[in-house]
């Protein structure tokens, strides 16, 4: 296979579904060896088996793999880095932080538990993965690209999503800071802000709310996971070699 990503290892969290799965698909198409990590191991395995191009080429770094991971648990993240260091001779140079959850409710009814679980996965999880794998890249003296997934509601807020919108605004701010700190190691960090994308996550939004949200999308439809994955792919590649600390909307104009 000839592709810009041949010989590069890509770690994708939340790889068992939606945007993470599409990112695995697109990155493997470009020749990357993909590590599909998800809390749901079976779903991550399904991504590798049926949604990725086959690993190929003698200059490749190895086979794709699926791995169980809870991004919110530092022990699980440490286990991951240790497992990967045994399995591959180089650290992943492409990191896509797509693991995320919602626990929507009116702010006046939101439980502390639902507040904390969303912040733990979406914000702390992104932090733990960035910190751990940026360290591995810096120690190995390899350049890299980290792509975080925020949300357009991190910019504008959304009814029922105090916890989620706060976590996603945090991801934007954290990305900008990480980009400033990691530039000297030649590690770029950027963030994507999807609008409403047709994945299992959006299936929980009541139809009435969905209809009114769609009225605010000039393109008049939900986006596809692949439309987000193509942007992730661009940010992961050397084609975006001077883009660092950027926040890019992919919303159909919302
Ligand atoms: N779908 C949208 O409209 C939309 C819009 C904006 C942002 N996003 C963001 O994009 C990312 C992907 O969302 P999606 O729509 O593909 O959702 P999804 O629900 O289809 O997929 C999320 C995946 O993350 C995994 N996951 C959840 N918690 C985890 C944990 N603690 N550790 C590891 N994996 C975990 C799930 O098992 C699932 O496979 C999320 O960060 C989400 O917030 C989605």
* Ramachandran angles phi, psi of 233, nearest 5°: -60, -45
According to the model, what pLDDT value does residue 57 have?
41
* Ramachandran angles phi, psi of 37, nearest 5°: -115, 135
**Is 25's pLDDT higher than 70?**
yes
Return the H-helix or E-strand segment holding 48.
helix 41-51
| Closest C-alpha residue for ligand 1 atom 21 | 17
* Contact predicate 21/225, CB 8 Å: yes
* Contact predicate 34/45, CB 8 Å: no
Q: How far is the CA of 221 from the centre of ligand 1 (A)?
A: 20
Q: How far is the CA of 184 from the centre of ligand 1 (A)?
A: 30
Q: Identify whether 164 is a catalytic site residue.
A: yes
Mean pLDDT in residue range 47-56: 80
Compute CA distances 111 → 90, 104, 169, whole Å.
42, 10, 20
**Is 84's pLDDT higher than 70?**
yes
According to the model, what pLDDT value does residue 137 have?
98
Q: Which of 41, 156, 164, 254 is catalytic?
A: 164
According to the model, what pLDDT value does residue 46 have?
97
According to the model, what pLDDT value does residue 173 have?
98
C-beta neighbour count of 35 within 10 angstroms = 28
Mean pLDDT in residue range 78-98: 97
What is the Cα–Cα distance from 167 to 201, expressed in whole angstroms? 16
Q: How far is the CA of 57 from the centre of ligand 1 (A)?
A: 31
According to the model, what pLDDT value does residue 1 have?
62
Please tell me the number of Cα atoms within 13 Å of 95 on its side-chain side: 30
Compute the Cα dihedral for 223, 229, 230, 236 and give only its sign: positive
According to the model, what pLDDT value does residue 58 have?
41
Compute CA distances 63 → 41, 52, 54, 87, whole Å.
17, 11, 8, 10
The average confidence (pLDDT) of the chain is 95
Mean pLDDT in residue range 136-163: 97
Q: What is the pLDDT of residues 170-228, one digit of tens each?
A: 999 999 999 999 999 999 999 999 999 999 999 888 888 889 889 999 999 999 999 99
In the chain, what are the domain boundaries? Answer: 9-250
Annotate 135-168 with DSSP letters as a single string: HHHHHHT--EEEEEE--THHHH--TTBHHHHHHH
70 lines ligand 1 (CB under 6 A): yes
According to the model, what pLDDT value does residue 56 have?
47
Class of domain 9-250: alpha beta
43 lines ligand 1 (CB under 6 A): yes
DSSP3 helix / strand / coil % (the chain, rounded to 5): 50, 15, 35
**Is 55's pLDDT higher than 60?**
no
According to the model, what pLDDT value does residue 60 have?
61
What is the Cα–Cα distance from 143 to 118, expressed in whole angstroms? 31
**Is 72's pLDDT higher than 70?**
yes
Atom from ligand 1 closest to the CA of residue 14: 24
Q: How far is the CA of 58 from the centre of ligand 1 (A)?
A: 33
According to the model, what pLDDT value does residue 206 have?
84
The percentage of the chain sitting over the pLDDT mark of 90, rounded to a whole number, equals: 89
**Is 82's pLDDT higher than 60?**
yes
């Amino acid at each position: 296979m000839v592709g810009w990503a041949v010989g590069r290892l890509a770690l994708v969290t939340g790889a068992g579904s939606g945007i993470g799965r599409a990112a695995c698909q697109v990155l493997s198409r470009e020749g990357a060896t993909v590590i599909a990590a998800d809390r749901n191991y079976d779903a991550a395995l399904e991504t590798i088996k049926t949604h990725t191009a086959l690993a190929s080429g003698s200059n490749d770094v190895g086979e794709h793999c699926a791995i169980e991971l809870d991004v919110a648990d530092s022990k699980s993240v440490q286990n991951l880095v240790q497992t990967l260091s045994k399995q591959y001779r180089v650290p992943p140079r492409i990191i896509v932080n797509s693991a995320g959850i919602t626990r929507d409710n009116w702010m006046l009814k939101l439980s502390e538990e639902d507040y904390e679980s969303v912040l733990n996965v979406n914000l702390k999880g992104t932090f733990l993965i960035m910190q751990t794998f940026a360290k591995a890249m810096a120690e190995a003296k390899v350049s890299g690209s980290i792509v975080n997934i925020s949300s357009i509601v991190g910019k504008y807020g959304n009814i029922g999503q105090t916890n989620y919108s706060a976590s996603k605004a945090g991801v934007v701010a954290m990305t900008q800071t990480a980009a400033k700190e990691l530039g000297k190691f030649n590690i770029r960090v950027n963030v994507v802000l999807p609008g409403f994308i047709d994945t299992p996550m959006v299936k929980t939004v009541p139809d009435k709310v969905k209809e009114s949200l769609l009225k605010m999308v000039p393109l008049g439809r939900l986006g596809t996971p692949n439309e987000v994955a193509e942007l992730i792919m661009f940010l992961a590649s050397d084609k975006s070699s001077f883009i660092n600390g950027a926040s890019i909307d992919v919303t159909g104009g919302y």
